[in-house]
Amino acid sequence: MTRRWQVLMWVLASLAMAAPALAQSAEDLYGAGAFRPAADSFAARVSAEPEVPAHWYNLGNALYRAGDRAGARVAWLRAARLAPRDRMIQQALKLVPPPDANSAAASAVSIVTPGEALLVGAILWVFAWILVAFRRPLRYAAPFMVAGLIVLMFGAGKTERYTRPVALVRRDNTSLRAAPFPSATSRRAMTEGATVEVLRRYAGWVLVRRGNDRGWVQRAELVPLGGVP
Query: To which CATH superfamily is domain 3-97 assigned?
Result: Tetratricopeptide repeat domain (1.25.40.10)
- The pLDDT assigned to 139 comes to 82
- The pLDDT assigned to 138 comes to 76
Please check whether residue 62 is in contact with residue 38, taking contact to mean a CB–CB distance below 8 angstroms. Answer: yes
In eight-state DSSP terms, residue 227 is S
Each of the 229 residues of the chain gets a pLDDT tens digit; together they read 555 544 445 444 444 443 444 457 888 898 899 999 999 999 999 999 999 999 999 999 999 999 999 999 999 999 999 999 999 999 999 999 999 999 999 899 999 999 999 999 999 999 999 998 887 787 888 999 999 999 999 999 999 999 999 999 999 999 999 999 999 999 899 999 999 999 999 989 999 998 889 999 999 999 999 754 4
Please check whether residue 29 is in contact with residue 41, taking contact to mean a CB–CB distance below 8 angstroms. Answer: yes
Residue ranges of domains in the chain: 3-97, 114-162, 166-226
3-97 and 166-226 in the same fold: no
Instruction: Classify the phi-psi angles of 210: left when phi > 0, otherwise alpha if psi is within -120 to 50, otherwise beta.
Output: beta
Cα separation of 8 and 157, whole Å?
A: 63
pTM score of the predicted model: 0.83
CA-wise closest residue to 33 among 67, 62, 72: 62
Cα separation of 184 and 172, whole Å?
A: 18
Side chain identity, residue 71: G
CA-wise closest residue to 122 among 146, 152, 166: 152
- The pLDDT assigned to 146 comes to 95
Cα separation of 28 and 112, whole Å?
A: 33
CATH for the stretch 166-226: 2.30.30.40
Strand partners, 210: 213
Look at the chain and count its residues: 229
- The pLDDT assigned to 229 comes to 41
Instruction: Classify the phi-psi angles of 168: left when phi > 0, otherwise alpha if psi is within -120 to 50, otherwise beta.
Output: beta
What are the two backbone dihedrals, phi and then psi, of residue 181, each rounded to the nearest 5 degrees? -145, 145
Cβ neighbours of residue 1 under 8 Å, at least 6 residues apart? 9
